[in-house]
Structure formats: C-alpha cells, structure tokens
C-alpha cells in the first residue's frame, strides 16, 4: 500500500528536483567568481555579474549601495513581512597557490581565500529557487555586501541608507567554516563571533652604532619588552569569564645589521566579545606601552581602532535559522548551541541595527578532506557541495519566516 504524499513532501520533492537541475549552473557561477576576484570596494566586475544574474531572474535590482553593493528584492503574495539574506563579495590580497586548479584566480596577488565566491553563489541560487518556486508570502531582500574583509562594507551600506531604502524586519547570513564537517550547520543565541580592534605602537628612540649601545635609546629592546608585557593584559587584567585575545603580528624597524634603529613599529589586533572588555584592553595596552617607553626614555605613539563589531545573534532569529537548517540537513547535523569563536565578521554591524542571526556551514573536516584547508590560506577552496545546500538553506529561511497563508 502506497502512502500518499503530503503537500510538504511534494514541496520537498519538487525542491530537490529543481536544485539537482540548477545546481551545476550555480557551481559554474562560483568558479567564475573565483577566477576573477576583487578586493574590498573594488568589486566592480563582480557586482556587474551579480546584478546581471539577478536581473535575468526578473528581480528588481539596485546597484552601487555602499559603493559596490547590490540589493535585489522579490515580493510574493500580500504578506507584510520583509527579511534580508546577505552574502559578502570581496576577495583577499593573497597569491593563490593551487597548481592544477582549473578555476584558479587569474589575478596575481588576489584570490577568494575565504569563500565569498561560494557565499555569492549560494545566495544567487536561493534567489533563483525562490523566483521559480514562489512558495512564500512577503518580501525577500538579497543583499550582496562589499568590503567584508576589513570591516567597512556593512557600515558603508548602512550609511548609504540600506535600511531606509530597503526596509527589513530581520537579516540572516552564513559563512563556510573549515574544520566543521561538510554540511553541518552551527549557531548559537547571543555572542557567536568576537569584535576585532587593530593597534599600532610606534616607538621612537635614538639610533646609533651597534658597538656603542650606551649612546642609543634602543627601541628594538623596548619593543620586545612591550610585546611580552602585552601578553599579561589578558592573563592578569581581563576577568577569566570573558574571552579576549591580544596578538602582535608585525614588528618593523628602520635599523640594519650593525646599526641600532631609531624607530620600531608594532602592529596587531585584539579580539573580545563585550564593549567593556574592548575598553579595558585599549586602556591597559596604552598604559603599558607609554609606561615602558617613558621608563626607557623613548617616545610612544599608541593608536587603537575599532574595526569589527561582535556578532551577537538575536534569540528569536536563531530559532528561525535552526528550523530552516534542520529542514535542509536534518536535526542531527544542526548544532544550536555551538561555542563562540574569536574570529570576526562584518555581519555583526547589521545585527546592531536590526534582529537577525548568523550561522556557520561546515566546509569539511579531516586530513585530505575537500574544504578542510583553513580560511585565508593560499591553497584554500570553497567546497562546491555547499552551493546547493546553502541555496536551499537561504530559501528555507524565507519559507519559515514568511510562510504562505
């Protein structure tokens, strides 16, 4: 005896057939984006391609939002609800090292090493699914954001009137994560990712002959002392209940082998998940740097800038994201209480303005597994199996949040 299909079963079968038929084209778009990467606010050809694909689907498309951003809208039915679905577009200034990769970057010193090519393909796939199925009731905004890598694009789109020109009730985003098994989806309520702040410490001493150090004020030795002292900030000033990271990543001098330098520049970044911790890090770092320089008779210039807001998910939107994820990959592959990470994402800036949620999608885990190469690595590549999965997830968000009446 055959059990009759329910409407939900029929919808899933129709969806699966359509995804199977369309996904090779979506993967092709991903490979095209990978071949022609562009860095933040330079995504002109990328935006042209995105806009052309969206227009070919019959969507209302707006260009130049926040510089090179693209926003497309699709309204179905009479529903008043509006949600935003966001993908990032920019690449990294990094030389790709992937001999034999057929879709490798054609642009020297630039590659998609963070998977934004895949994120665009996923959202474009979702747009095509929703325009063909039209199985929701309300409005979906498809947001393609520039300049995520340096934390400037979201603010630029907001300053250009994103939320007044294209009102939304909620916004959702996703990022691939190597180290998480392929197709697993993970999120949490509250803080998911940290803020990122950048610092520059400029130490000016008095250079001199390496054989006569008593006549110099050696900024290199002072800088070394500062690098070590900064490691005590988290260990001895931050409440252990709050995560924080201080990393010195560059140490630059104007000296030569037999000359003590006059100037040393130390650069790096900090990560935290709370404004009070951000303020504490900045204050303690400034006090240590200025105090150590003063003790040695050197001059200190300390610069500290706030680059990324923490990504703090809204609980009610996490519920929506989890339901959509479970519908696509099954409850056993969805983690709704994943531990927070100290990485940063420009999506956090949107969540300061309106409700929303962000999820991680596993790109692959394990030695030799496709997609397991770390982000920002010259050999990284987005896992193509995630393109149809991500497209279905984004489309399912619209169905969950804007159900047909």
For the chain, percent of residues with pLDDT exceeding 90 = 94
376 is in an annotated binding site: yes
Are 278 and 155 in the same domain? no
Supply 175's token pair.
């990022």
110 is in an annotated binding site: no
Q: What is the pLDDT of residues 172-181, one digit of tens each?
A: 999 999 999 9
Contacts of 256 (CB under 8 A, 6+ apart): none
Answer whether residue 153 is part of any domain. yes
Structural contact between residues 270 and 197, judged by C-beta atoms closer than 8 angstroms: yes
C-alpha–C-alpha distance, residues 399 and 254, integer Å: 59
pLDDT at res. 54: 98
| Size (the chain), residues | 405
Are 102 and 223 in the same domain? no
Q: Write down which residue in 249, 277, 308 finishes a domain.
A: 308
Query: What are the backbone angles phi and psi of residue 317, rounded to the nearest 5°?
Result: -80, -30
pLDDT at res. 1: 43
Are 274 and 176 in the same domain? no
More confident residue, 317 or 14: 317
Are 80 and 52 in the same domain? yes
List the domain range (segments joined by +) for residue 110: 7-193+310-401
Are 259 and 328 in the same domain? no
Q: Between 219-237 and 275-296, two packed helices, what is the crossing angle to 10 degrees?
A: 150
Q: What is the pLDDT of residues 264-289, one digit of tens each?
A: 999 999 999 988 999 999 999 999 99
pLDDT at res. 10: 61
Are 112 and 225 in the same domain? no
pLDDT at res. 295: 98
Q: Write down which residue in 281, 308, 335 finishes a domain.
A: 308
pLDDT beyond 70 at 8: no
Q: For the chain, state the CA radius of gyration.
A: 24
289 is in an annotated binding site: no
Q: What is the pLDDT of residues 87-107, one digit of tens each?
A: 999 999 999 999 999 999 999
Are 111 and 229 in the same domain? no
Kindly report the CATH number assigned to the domain that includes residue 55.
Answer: 3.40.630.10
149 is in an annotated binding site: yes
Q: What is the pLDDT of residues 216-275, one digit of tens each?
A: 999 999 999 999 999 999 999 999 999 999 999 999 999 999 999 999 999 999 999 988
pTM across the whole model:
0.92
Answer whether residue 15 is part of any domain. yes
Sheet holding 299-308, edge to edge: 244-253, 263-272, 195-204, 299-308
Are 182 and 303 in the same domain? no
pLDDT at res. 405: 82
Catalytic site positions: 90, 148
pLDDT beyond 60 at 142: yes
Average pLDDT, the chain: 96
**Is 339 exposed, middle or buried, given 0-12, 13-18 or 19+ CB atoms closer than 10 A?**
exposed
Answer whether residue 28 is part of any domain. yes
Answer whether residue 281 is part of any domain. yes
Q: Mean pLDDT throughout 34-52?
A: 98
pLDDT at res. 345: 98
pLDDT at res. 28: 98
Q: What confidence category does residue 368 fall into, taking pLDDT thresholds of 50, 70 and 90?
A: confident
Supply 258's token pair.
């037999």
Q: Write down which residue in 308, 324, 339 finishes a domain.
A: 308
What is the count of structural domains for the chain? 2
175 is in an annotated binding site: yes
C-alpha–C-alpha distance, residues 111 and 95, integer Å: 6
Q: What confidence category does residue 184 fall into, taking pLDDT thresholds of 50, 70 and 90?
A: very high
pLDDT at res. 3: 44
pLDDT beyond 60 at 207: yes
pLDDT beyond 70 at 144: yes
Are 277 and 334 in the same domain? no
Q: Mean pLDDT throughout 359-373?
A: 95
Answer whether residue 264 is part of any domain. yes
Q: How far is C-alpha 182 from the chain's CA centre?
A: 18
Answer whether residue 1 is part of any domain. no
Answer whether residue 62 is part of any domain. yes
Answer whether residue 2 is part of any domain. no
Q: Mean pLDDT throughout 193-200?
A: 97
Kindly report the CATH number assigned to the domain that includes residue 253.
Answer: 3.30.70.360
Q: What is the pLDDT of residues 56-71, one digit of tens each?
A: 999 999 999 999 999 9
Q: Mean pLDDT throughout 135-155?
A: 97
More confident residue, 15 or 68: 68
Query: What are the backbone angles phi and psi of residue 87, rounded to the nearest 5°?
Result: -130, 150
Q: Mean pLDDT throughout 336-342?
A: 97
Are 72 and 125 in the same domain? yes
pLDDT beyond 70 at 12: no
C-alpha–C-alpha distance, residues 30 and 403, integer Å: 29
Q: What confidence category does residue 365 fall into, taking pLDDT thresholds of 50, 70 and 90?
A: very high
Are 187 and 203 in the same domain? no
pLDDT at res. 7: 53
**Is 394 exposed, middle or buried, given 0-12, 13-18 or 19+ CB atoms closer than 10 A?**
buried
Are 337 and 366 in the same domain? yes
């Amino acid at each position: 005896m055959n059990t009759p299909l329910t409407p939900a079963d029929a919808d899933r079968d129709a969806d699966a057939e359509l995804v199977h038929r369309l996904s090779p084209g979506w993967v092709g778009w991903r490979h095209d984006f990978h071949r022609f990467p562009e860095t933040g606010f330079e995504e002109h050809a990328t935006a042209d391609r995105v806009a052309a694909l969206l227009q070919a689907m019959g969507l209302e498309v707006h260009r130049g939002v926040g510089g090179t951003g693209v926003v497309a809208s699709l309204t179905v039915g009479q529903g008043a609800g509006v949600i935003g679905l966001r993908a990032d577009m920019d690449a990294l200034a990094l030389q790709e090292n992937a001999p034999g990769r057929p879709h490798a970057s054609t642009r020297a010193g630039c590659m998609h090493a963070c998977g934004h090519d895949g994120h665009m393909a996923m959202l474009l796939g979702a747009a095509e699914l929703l325009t063909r199925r039209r199985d929701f009731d309300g409005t979906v905004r498809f947001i393609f954001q520039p300049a995520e890598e340096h934390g400037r694009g979201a603010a630029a789109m907001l300053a250009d009137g994103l939320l007044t020109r294209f009102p939304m009730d909620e916004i959702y985003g996703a990022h691939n994560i190597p180290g998480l098994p392929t197709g697993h989806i993970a999120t949490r309520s509250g803080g998911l990712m940290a803020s990122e702040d950048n610092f520059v410490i400029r130490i000016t001493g008095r250079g001199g002959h390496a054989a006569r150090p008593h006549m110099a004020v050696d900024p290199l030795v002072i800088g070394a002392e500062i690098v070590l002292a900064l490691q005590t900030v988290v260990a001895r000033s931050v409440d252990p209940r709050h995560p924080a990271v201080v990393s010195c990543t560059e140490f630059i001098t104007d000296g030569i082998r037999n000359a003590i330098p006059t100037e040393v520049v130390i650069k790096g970044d900090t990560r935290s998940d709370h404004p009070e911790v951000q303020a504490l890090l900045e204050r303690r770092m400034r006090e240590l740097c200025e105090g150590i320089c003063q003790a040695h008779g050197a001059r200190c210039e300390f610069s500290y800038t706030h680059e990324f807001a923490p990504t703090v998910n809204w609980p009610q939107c996490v519920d929506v994201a989890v339901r959509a994820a479970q519908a696509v990959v099954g409850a056993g592959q969805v983690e709704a209480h994943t531990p927070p990470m100290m990485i940063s994402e420009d999506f956090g800036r949107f969540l300061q303005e309106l409700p929303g949620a962000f999820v991680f999608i596993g790109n692959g885990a394990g030695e030799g597994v496709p997609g397991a190469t770390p982000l920002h690595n010259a050999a990284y590549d987005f896992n193509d199996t995630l393109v149809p999965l991500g497209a279905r997830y984004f489309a399912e968000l619209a169905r969950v949040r804007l159900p047909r009446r």
